[in-house]
Amino acid sequence: MDLLGLVKEQLTSTIVSKISSFLGESTENTNSALTSALPAILGGVMQKASTTQGASDLLNTIRTGGYDGSVLSNLGGLLDDVKSTSTLASLGSGLLGNIFGDKLGALSSLIANVSGIKSGSASSLLGLAAPILMNVLGKQVTSQGISTSGLASLLMSQKDAVKTALPAGIGSILNVGALGDFLGNPKATVTNTFEAADDNKKPNSWLPWLLLGGLLLGALYYWNSCRNTEEATVAQTTTETVATVDSAATQVVSSLKKTLSTGVELNFGEKSIENELISFIEDKSKPVDKTTWFNFRDLRFETGSAVIDSTSMQEVRNIAEILKAYPIDLKIGGYTDNVGKEAANQKLSADRATSVVNALVAMGIDAKRLSPEGYGSQFPVASNDTEEGRAQNRRIAVRVTQK
């Protein structure tokens, strides 16, 4: 099986043209950049899967991160929307950060140099290419029921094709000589390993996208870059937590498992948004109304912005899986505390709700099933006189509008 060939089949002239328009680069240079980026990304994935644990974690990431290839059927439509494309690129960048670590900047510069596109464009292009490649890989895993050993074997079999296609100078980023060598269970501890998605892991655990896929995705890694100081009107903590009425102390940590009709198994807490939403959907005695909302527990944004913190995507990925399993439509509501001007809060809450919608769309959910709306500081669930209360009021919630 030629994975690079399968990925290139997705990158039709129309898709490449849309990517080039998004980047503001020529189609020729964009195509050249993709030609170099794809084998580099696949090589990085191969290295991460070169141990038994790495291959196992990668397989788990594919299964839980929404990388089933569903996004590929509407890739052109996704790339037509600038916000969805930006979300996809952002989530893909987080995925790449886990794969390449501090060498990602060097890879971006290399792609820029060999293709003639700007360095910033190269970073965005890599972010777009990564989830596309992962969806192609995930589609094979899903359709063929590939196991951990089968996944490792499939990836290692790409050795010759990847080495041939790699751009010159990649040796400083990838260990080309060992590329495609399966190490099994090395005795030495391998740093920056490909970590599997896990709700119970600390924040720097592997969380790949989604986004597509979930998105996605996503869903799976630690990725956080320094940002400029926010406007005083929305200045809060470095990363704002979108909280619920429940405090961390009262949340039950017991874990539940749910196998959806799609065959996907979800793991979540008893008082999680996933459990509450599924219970509502399956309870025929509970009608759709305009007052029943379900709050995200662990969804965070960069301070004063609508950029989702890439380490907090697991709930979004799970919601995407629930949407794939149940014929429901959702309203996504954004809320803020009362700090700053209300006009700014209103816009921020709307932008954040839209970011969640874009992430879900990037994970393969039809945008027609989702409706974002920002409410600013309206409808507080706690007092804005304390930091704890303000944190609870900064939240994203969903409401079922059809089931």
pLDDT higher than threshold 90 for residue 173: no
- Three-state DSSP class for 245? coil
**Measured torsion, CA atoms of residues 75, 77, 79, 82, in degrees rounded to the nearest 10:** -150
Q: CB-side exposure of 94: number of CA atoms within 13 Å?
A: 33
Residue 250: C-alpha distances to residues 77, 188, 247, 270, 315 (Å): 42, 40, 5, 12, 19
- Please indicate whether residue 101 or residue 330 has the higher confidence score (pLDDT): 330
- Write the pLDDT tens digit of every residue in 210-268: 344 444 434 333 333 333 333 333 333 344 545 433 333 333 345 789 999 999 999 99
Query: pTM of the prediction?
Result: 0.51
Q: Which pLDDT belongs to residue 187? A: 42
Q: Which amino acid is at 163?
A: K
Per-residue DSSP letter, 367: G
- Paired tokens of 50: 């070169």
- Paired tokens of 378: 């309206």
Where in the chain is CATH 3.30.1330.60?
Answer: 232-402
Neighbours of 164 (CB within 10 A): 9
**Domain 232-402 indexed as CATH 3.40.50.410:** no
- Paired tokens of 291: 């007052």
Task: Tell me the C-alpha distance between 184 and 346, whole Å.
Answer: 53
Q: Which pLDDT belongs to residue 224? A: 35
pLDDT higher than threshold 90 for residue 349: yes
Task: Answer for the pair 218, 208: CB distance below 8 angstroms, yes or no.
Answer: yes
Task: Tell me the C-alpha distance between 258 and 265, whole Å.
Answer: 6
Q: CA nearest 360: which of 124, 190, 368? A: 368
pLDDT level of residue 180 (50, 70, 90 thresholds): low
pLDDT higher than threshold 90 for residue 38: yes
Which residues partner with 300 through β-bridges? 241
- Which pairs with CB-CB distance under 8 Å and at least 24 residues apart come from 203-207? 203/311, 203/312, 204/311, 206/57, 206/61, 206/98, 207/94, 207/310, 207/311, 207/312, 207/313, 207/314
Task: Tell me the C-alpha distance between 130 and 117, whole Å.
Answer: 18
- Write the pLDDT tens digit of every residue in 81-139: 998 898 888 888 888 888 888 888 888 888 988 899 998 899 999 999 999 999 999 99
Element at 401 (helix H, strand E): strand 395-402
pLDDT higher than threshold 60 for residue 298: yes
Alpha carbon distance, N-terminus to C-terminus of the chain: 41
Task: Tell me the C-alpha distance between 53 and 264, whole Å.
Answer: 21
Q: Which pLDDT belongs to residue 104? A: 86
Q: CA nearest 400: which of 312, 278, 308, 257? A: 278
Tell me the pLDDT of the chain averaged across its residues: 81
Q: Which pLDDT belongs to residue 110? A: 85
Q: Which pLDDT belongs to residue 345? A: 95
Task: Answer for the pair 50, 183: CB distance below 8 angstroms, yes or no.
Answer: yes
Q: Which of these ranges, 95-104, 140-149, 381-390, has the smallest mean pLDDT?
A: 95-104
Task: Tell me the C-alpha distance between 103 and 192, whole Å.
Answer: 12
- Write the pLDDT tens digit of every residue in 7-30: 999 999 999 999 999 999 999 999
Instruction: Taking the CA atoms of 315, 320, 325 and 327 in sequence, report the sign of the dihedral they define.
Output: positive
- Three-state DSSP class for 299? strand
- Paired tokens of 61: 């990431």
pLDDT higher than threshold 60 for residue 192: no
Q: Which amino acid is at 325?
A: A
